[in-house]
């Protein structure tokens, strides 16, 4: 039986992988996993299988749930003297300038494989091995270097991803020049590792030969990710953070991640204003809401010792419309899928900026989530082993009183929540069709020390406001790469991917 579903992914290659699962009779979760397997393994630099992420699932007749498979703090294998640990500070002229830490000691406990395993076992239809067929073919035959990867690798290729011989061979021509967009990439040994995972199941990454080899490499190289960390890793199911706007119920990523709480607070504050178009008052309110909520995050959440209490305060003030109270308080892949049974799946993963570490013979670049300093403000010592690291990711599903089911998410670091916010407002409140809602220009409040400015795409009209600006003349990948898939009884499927970041969509006809 052919599955009926819609997919919005970060590339046509990833969308095609999801489509293959639909053709095999898979559901929205099967399609999301297969598409994400392709995305994280064919967008070098942007993402990696050794990162972590979240999956929000809305099943018909059941409360929405978010599976937490994000990166955890390592160290269960024992204390390690600082003199034995290897971490390398790197400054990249990327996105206006980024300071990060790479090398073995920046590597956290990966959760992506475990996340996919739990989702497949509990919600999917197809065998685990079948989900890997498209990504094994793509990585064995070679895949075109995506534009998003190229734009990042211009800055990060040499200082990060050339730290290993296999990594350099994958990304550079024989003459030493970085490969360009569209050039074929074959990552040595990657397809073999994926075959090993397909045959051995998720446990192969955590208690099997592959996992043990990765752990030994990291420990021997000067990191803290050991066998005990991998053996102890567990995906945590959490009730999704649910809110209402207009006649929609929206479910997203709950604490201890902060992305979902930030998105929910902004949606509540925007929803109270009930904009009907992006006129001057609505734009001013959009800027005020972003400034308030992102400022609260900056001041209260990034170094919170009680993230549940602090997010509860934020959401309470947002529900009350108390914008003044909030003001007083600041690299990823995504796939969205829905099917004709009303099952919606939204999954986002990240490997940080990449540690540059690739255990020889695996083809797997490891994450640098401990060194992703703009998210992990505490740096290489963020907390006790096993603790989840902070995240902006906010994979989201929604259902309307009229029966439309929607899955949405975005890559884009701290622009994830503001990108999703504006697309949801465009579609849910302003009534724009999904594609128009995504293409519409966006704004994002950013902070420079204690001052703020509004990064904005020119056509939005922020120049009407008396605020400091950073103008983008055209649509820019800076503002995320939103993907949306939806289904409505009697109308069928709709899917759209953001033109800011080359994406792919696929859907079947009812």
Question: Which of the 8 DSSP states describes residue 86?
Answer: -
pLDDT tens profile 403-443: 999 999 998 777 889 999 999 999 999 999 999 999 999 99
Q: Quick one: tokens of 265?
A: 């607070």
Would you mind telling me the total number of residues written for the chain in this entry?
510
The Cα angle at residue 15 between residues 9 and 21, in degrees rounded to 5: 125
d(CA 212, CA 499): 41
Q: What is the pLDDT of residues 55-79, one digit of tens each?
A: 999 999 999 999 999 999 999 988 8
Q: What is the mean pLDDT of residues 77-101?
A: 87
- Topology adopted by domain 238-334+392-507: 3.60.20
pLDDT in tens, 454-491: 999 999 999 999 999 999 999 888 888 999 999 998 88
Helical ranges in 274-386 per DSSP H: 280-296, 307-319, 323-328
List pLDDT tens digits, range 255-305. 888 888 889 988 888 877 788 899 999 999 999 889 888 888 877 776 667
Is the separation of the CB atoms in 254 and 239 below 8 Å?
A: yes
**Tokens 């020889």 map to which residue?**
360
Residues 6+ apart with CB under 8 A from 106: 87, 100, 223, 352, 355, 367, 368, 369, 370, 371, 380
Report percent pLDDT > 70 for the chain: 95
Query: If DSSP codes are grouped into helix, strand and coil, which group holds residue 22?
Result: helix
Phi, psi torsion values for 389, nearest 5 degrees: -80, 160
At residue 206, the 3 state secondary structure works out as: helix
- Which residue did the predictor score with more confidence, 252 or 82? 252
Report the 10 Å Cβ neighbour count for 63: 10
Q: Specify the pLDDT at position 319.
A: 58
Segment 125-146, tens digit of pLDDT: 999 999 999 999 999 999 999 9
pLDDT digits (tens, 9 = 90+) for 150-172: 989 999 999 999 999 999 999 99
User: For the CA atoms of 492, 497, 498, 501, what is the dihedral angle to 10 degrees?
Assistant: 180
Question: Token digits for 210?
Answer: 């592959």
Burial class of residue 208 (count of CB atoms within 10 Å of its CB; 0-12, 13-18, 19+): middle
Give the whole-angstrom CA distance, residue 103 versus residue 240. 34
pLDDT value at 320 more than 70 = no
Percent of the chain with pLDDT over 90: 70
Query: Among all residues, which ones are annotated catalytic?
Result: 332
Q: Which two tokens stand for residue 96?
A: 């206006």
* Mean pLDDT across the chain: 91
Which segments of 4-84 are extended strands (E)? 5-9, 52-58, 65-69
pLDDT value at 321 more than 90: no
101-120 confidence digits (pLDDT tens): 999 999 999 999 999 999 99
Domain ranges of the chain: 14-236+353-371, 238-334+392-507
Of 131, 115, 109, residue with least CA distance to 17: 131
């Amino acid at each position: 039986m052919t599955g009926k579903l819609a997919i919005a992914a970060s590339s046509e290659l990833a969308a095609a992988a999801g489509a293959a699962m639909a053709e095999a009779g898979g559901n929205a979760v099967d399609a999301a996993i297969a598409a994400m397997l392709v995305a994280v393994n064919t967008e070098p630099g942007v993402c990696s299988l050794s990162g972590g992420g979240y999956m929000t699932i809305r099943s018909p007749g059941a409360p929405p749930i978010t599976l937490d498979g994000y990166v955890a703090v390592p160290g269960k294998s024992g204390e390690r003297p600082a003199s034995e640990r290897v971490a390398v500070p790197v400054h990249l002229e990327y996105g206006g300038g980024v300071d990060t830490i790479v090398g073995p000691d920046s590597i956290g406990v990966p959760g992506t494989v475990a996340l996919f395993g739990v989702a497949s076992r509990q919600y999917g239809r197809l065998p685990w091995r079948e989900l890997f067929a498209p990504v094994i073919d793509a990585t064995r035959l070679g895949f075109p270097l995506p534009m998003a990867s190229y734009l990042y690798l211009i800055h990060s290729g040499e200082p990060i991803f050339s730290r290993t011989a296999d990594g350099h061979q994958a990304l550079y021509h024989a003459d030493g020049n970085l490969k360009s967009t569209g050039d074929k990439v074959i990552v040595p040994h990657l397809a073999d590792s994926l075959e090993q995972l397909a045959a051995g199941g998720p446990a192969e990454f955590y208690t099997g030969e592959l996992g043990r080899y990765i752990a030994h490499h990291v420990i021997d190289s000067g990191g803290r990710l050991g066998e005990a960390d991998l053996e102890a890793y567990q995906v945590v199911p959490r009730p999704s953070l649910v809110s209402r706007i207009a006649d929609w119920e929206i479910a997203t990523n709950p604490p201890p991640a902060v992305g979902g709480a930030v998105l929910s607070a902004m949606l509540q504050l925007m929803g109270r204003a009930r904009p009907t178009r992006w006129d001057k008052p609505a734009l001013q309110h959009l800027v005020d809401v972003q400034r308030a909520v992102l400022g609260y995050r900056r001041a209260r959440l990034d170094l919170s010792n009680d993230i549940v209490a602090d997010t509860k305060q934020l959401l309470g003030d947002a529900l009350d419309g108390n914008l003044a109270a909030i003001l007083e308080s600041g690299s990823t892949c995504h796939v969205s899928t829905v099917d004709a049974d009303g099952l919606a799946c939204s999954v986002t993963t990240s490997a940080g900026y990449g540690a540059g570490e690739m255990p020889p013979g695996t083809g797997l670049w490891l994450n640098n989530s401990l060194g992703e300093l703009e998210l992990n403000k505490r740096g290489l010592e963020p907390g006790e082993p096993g603790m989840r690291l902070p995240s902006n990711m906010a994979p989201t599903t929604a259902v309307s009183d009229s029966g439309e089911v929607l899955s949405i998410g975005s890559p884009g670091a701290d622009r994830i929540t503001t990108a999703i916010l504006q697309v949801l407002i465009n579609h849910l409140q302003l009534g724009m069709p999904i594609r128009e809602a995504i293409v519409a220009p966006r704004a994002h409040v950013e902070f420079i020390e204690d001052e703020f400015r509004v990064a904005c795409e020119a056509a939005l009209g922020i120049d009407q406001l008396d605020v400091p600006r950073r103008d983008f003349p055209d649509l820019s990948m800076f503002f995320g790469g939103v993907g949306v898939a939806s289904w409505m009884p009697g109308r069928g499927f709709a899917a759209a991917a953001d033109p800011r970041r080359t994406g792919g969509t696929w859907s079947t006809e009812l």
